[in-house]
Chains A and B, each alone.
Chain A
Amino acid sequence: MTEYVPAGAGTVTKYIVVESPTVTPAELAIRAYEVSHGLIIKETCFGLAINGKEEEVNGLIARLRAMDPDHIFVKDRGFPPGDPRRCRANLGGARPGFHGIEYETTILPYVSHGLEELRSRDPGSIPAPKNPLETKKLDVYMLKKLIEAQEP
């Protein structure tokens, strides 16, 4: 057993994902370097990973989000940027968490549209989405009937 001494204790890492027609990850990175002091900033294909003290990271995110508030999304990350346990440079292929971001990136345009709509509309006037728990499942007897109806 090896002793584990954590690096960067007391810091936070956040992902900034940009899905914007007007702002690219490169522009976001340049802006981040301009306004940040001492934070670790890593540019990725989908946005940025930022590491540092929580207040400083949140301050930088607020300034970056102002560039395109409805198309820039933020989430926490457990590992610091470039951590060899997670970085694809060491492991090869996409890191496991990328697949979740990749899937949700396909949905971000709909969410961005919703955020834009809510700037001009009252949320109370928008009907509720369908409750997934009320969706009727395939009845087991109907399933049996379908199986038996198959031609040999």
Chain B
Amino acid sequence: MAKIFIYPTTSLILSDLVARYGHTPLSSATAVRERVQTAGIESVPLQITPEEPKKGLRWAAVEVPSGVRGRMALYGPMIEACDAAIVIEDADFAFGCMGCARTNELVKYLIREKNVPRLDLDYPKNEDEGTRFVAAIRRFLADLGGTK
């Protein structure tokens, strides 16, 4: 069972398919859960404390905005722990009220630098593309040792 970093990290589709084919998806929910279930100082809503931007210095320089470094405190450990990654390139919703375009660029860069098996995809736009999308993910995960 391999640890698969998924991007967008909140993706329902990727999270489901990775688990369905026998691997562990590394998603932002598990990183947020760690913080929500750890005692400490109250810092609503996500329990991101001033410590997180300090931890983020491991992946981003001190000049980088604290929002990027805070987010990297969640995503950085997952990128370091992953054995492979699945990236959806046209995930527009990853940038919005809760997203950060610069963090997204840094995340994709770090995945490329890590040099682990990576599958780049776009969201399917019809049934034929849907079949290709699922088949590609299944083949990719099977090569890592998941369900054939």
**26 A-B contacts (beta carbon < 8 Å):** A1-B41, A1-B42, A2-B41, A4-B39, A8-B37, A13-B33, A75-B10, A75-B12, A76-B15, A76-B33, A77-B29, A85-B46, A97-B10, A100-B8, A104-B12, A110-B133, A111-B133, A112-B130, A114-B134, A117-B131, A123-B142, A124-B139, A128-B136, A129-B122, A129-B129, A129-B132
In angstroms, Cα B8 to Cα A77, docked, is 14
B: which residues have CB within 8 A of A? 8, 10-13, 15-17, 19, 25, 27-33, 35-47, 89-90, 92-93, 96-98, 120-127, 129-136, 138-139, 142
A-B contact count (CB 8 A): 150
Judging by beta carbons under 8 Å apart, are A4 and B40 in contact? Answer: yes
Judging by beta carbons under 8 Å apart, are B121 and A113 in contact? Answer: no
A148 at the interface (CB under 8 A from B): no
> How big is chain A's contact interface, by range?
35 or more
In angstroms, Cα B120 to Cα A100, docked, is 19
In angstroms, Cα B59 to Cα A90, docked, is 35
Judging by beta carbons under 8 Å apart, are B42 and A4 in contact? Answer: yes
A: which residues have CB within 8 A of B? 1-6, 8-13, 15, 17, 73-79, 83, 85-86, 96-97, 99-101, 103-104, 107-115, 117-118, 121, 123-124, 126-133
Shortest Cβ distance from A122 into chain B, in angstroms? 9
Q: Chain A interface mostly helix, strand, loop or mixed?
A: mixed
Judging by beta carbons under 8 Å apart, are A73 and B41 in contact? Answer: no
B132: which of A2, A3, A126 is its contact (CB, 8 Å)?
A126
| Residue among B32, B35, B38, B97 facing the most chain A CB atoms (10 A cut-off) | B32
B89: which of A99, A109, A133 is its contact (CB, 8 Å)?
A133
Judging by beta carbons under 8 Å apart, are B33 and A126 in contact? Answer: no
B134: which of A3, A75, A76, A118 is its contact (CB, 8 Å)?
A118
Shortest Cβ distance from A42 into chain B, in angstroms? 16
> Given that A74-B15, A75-B12, A96-B97 are known contacts, is A114 also in contact with B133, CB under 8 Å in the complex?
yes
